[in-house]
């Protein structure tokens, strides 16, 4: 499926937001930046640098007190970004993330309660898996796109290769321990749509506000697909 360009309005309630599918989000670029925002003032310039480098789908993790404000700020200030919420682990976080402007949701794992909340959210979602049984359970519930986490620790490319035979309908965004050296190995797999990572966001570059460096690293990441 070919993704459509991100709509100009970031509102999660708009028809254009709801028309995005998980695969459309994951096919926007070969890498989804996994962003931890410590200072909300960094959110817009950071997002602009990533988008300018060719990485429009941006996962802001709910690991800091300003994460929701960062999502809200990016949604309002960077219309070409497709901003999502990561580390979503509760129905309350689903509600808060969508209200803040998140256009997709990513969880490190899933439960029936969390999955129901994400399904009801009206935005694409990516539940996390690390075992074959979890993959089968999601397929049983009609979910085909998943986050494979923690990718390197859970078996890496060898594990995903093993899943491709019996479960070819499942598609993954591996995240966790992935850098530019191994990302192409994941992207070469038929069941991988993209990878998640944060190597294009060095802490020293963020601290210095070196957004040209972030843009350069993002551009290199955008060109990683074989």
Q: Could you say which of 147, 161, 185, 215 is catalytic? A: 147
Dihedrals phi, psi of 67, to nearest 5 degrees: -60, -45
- Reply yes or no on whether 134 is catalytic: no
Q: How far apart are CA 217 and CA 226, in angstroms?
A: 17
Q: Could you say which of 27, 38, 59, 140 is catalytic? A: 59
Q: How far apart are CA 41 and CA 176, in angstroms?
A: 26
Is 48 in a helix, a strand, or coil?
Answer: helix
The answer to whether residues 139 and 167 touch, using CB atoms and an 8 Å cutoff, is yes
- Reply yes or no on whether 147 is catalytic: yes
Q: How far apart are CA 148 and CA 191, in angstroms?
A: 11
Q: How far apart are CA 170 and CA 201, in angstroms?
A: 29
145: nearest Cα among 6, 26, 30? 26
Residue ranges in the chain assigned as alpha helix (H): 15-18, 22-26, 43-52, 67-77, 91-100, 112-119, 132-140, 156-164, 183-187, 203-208, 211-222
119: nearest Cα among 149, 88, 73, 150? 88
Q: How far apart are CA 167 and CA 132, in angstroms?
A: 9
**Catalytic residue list:** 59, 147
């Amino acid at each position: 499926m070919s993704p459509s360009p991100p709509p100009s309005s970031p509102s999660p309630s708009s028809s254009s937001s709801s028309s995005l599918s998980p695969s459309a989000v994951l096919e926007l670029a070969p890498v989804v930046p996994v962003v931890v925002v410590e200072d909300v003032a960094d959110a817009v310039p950071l997002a602009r640098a990533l988008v300018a480098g060719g990485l429009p789908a941006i996962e802001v993790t709910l690991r800091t007190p300003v994460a929701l404000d960062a999502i809200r700020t990016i949604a309002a200030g960077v219309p070409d970004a497709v901003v999502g919420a990561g580390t979503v682990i509760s129905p309350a976080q689903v509600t808060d993330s969508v209200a803040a402007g998140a256009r997709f949701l990513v969880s490190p794992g899933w439960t029936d309660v969390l999955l129901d909340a994400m399904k009801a959210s009206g935005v694409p979602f990516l539940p996390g898996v690390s075992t074959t049984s979890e993959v089968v359970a999601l397929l049983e519930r009609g979910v085909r796109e998943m986050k494979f986490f923690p990718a390197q620790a859970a078996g890496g490319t060898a594990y995903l290769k093993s899943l491709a035979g019996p479960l070819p309908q499942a598609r993954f965004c591996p995240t966790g321990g992935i850098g530019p050296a191994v990302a192409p190995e994941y992207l070469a797999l038929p069941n991988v749509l993209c990878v998640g990572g944060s190597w294009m966001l060095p802490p020293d570059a963020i601290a210095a506000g070196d957004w040209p460096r972030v843009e350069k690293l993002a551009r290199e990441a955008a060109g990683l697909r074989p």
